[in-house]
Amino acid sequence: MSQFKVTKQIEFCYGHRLLEYDGKCKHLHGHNGLLEIEVGADSLDSLGMVIDFGEIKDIVKKWVDDNMDHKMILSKDDPILGMLNDINEPVYVLDGNPTAENIARQIHVEARKAGLDILEIRLWETPSSFATYSSANNSGHSSE
């Protein structure tokens, strides 16, 4: 486990709906999401930092802005996907249901691909509800 940890927050907006769900979230709806990106290290760099907060922002915010911000995040199996593509609506497609848990996992995977030693991603879907995704092994790159 890392001795040092830093957390950067990033806000973004997205829409989604959950397939085969019996509740209000089965309908298209939106969220003002808040990401918390936790990065860790066993030691500090020459400046006394785990990582510059700006570097986390540059990597994760750019990916989120390019891929998920102000887009519908939908399952590849969602029947509305074809219609939204036909009218050029911005969509991000996940293999599974676009739950907060699956969205957090996808952001975690992409941030690690970009070289960040992500310990944990928290996605606040509302001010009182969040989902967390962390690697099984926090001391090195995951095998996702």
DSSP string across 42-88 = SS--TTS-SS-HHHHIIIIIHHHHHHTTTEEEEETT-TTHHHHHHTT
Q: Largest alpha-carbon pair distance within the chain?
A: 53
Residue-level pLDDT at 2: 75
Q: Is the pLDDT of residue 142 over 60?
A: no
Mean pLDDT of 108-134: 96
C-beta separation of 113 from 137 below 8 A: no
CA 7 vs CA 53, 119, 120: distances in Å: 8, 10, 9
End-to-end CA distance of the chain: 19
Residue-level pLDDT at 138: 44
What percent of the chain shows pLDDT beyond 70?
A: 93
Mean pLDDT of 1-5: 85
Pick the CATH number of 4-125 from 3.40.50.720, 3.40.50.880, 3.30.420.40, 3.30.479.10: 3.30.479.10
- With residue 40 as reference, give the H or E element that holds it: strand 29-41
Q: Taking the model in full, what pTM does it have?
A: 0.90
Residue-level pLDDT at 135: 81
50-79: pLDDT as tens digits: 999 999 999 999 999 999 999 999 999 999
Token digits of residue 9 = 């927050």
Catalytic center residues: 25, 70, 125
Structural domain boundaries in the chain: 4-125
Residue-level pLDDT at 121: 97
For residue 34, the tally of other CB atoms under 10 A from its CB is: 16
* 81-117 residues labelled b (16+ CB within 10 A) or e (exposed): beebeeeeeeebebeebbbbbbbbbbbbbbbbeeebb
Mean pLDDT of 94-120: 96
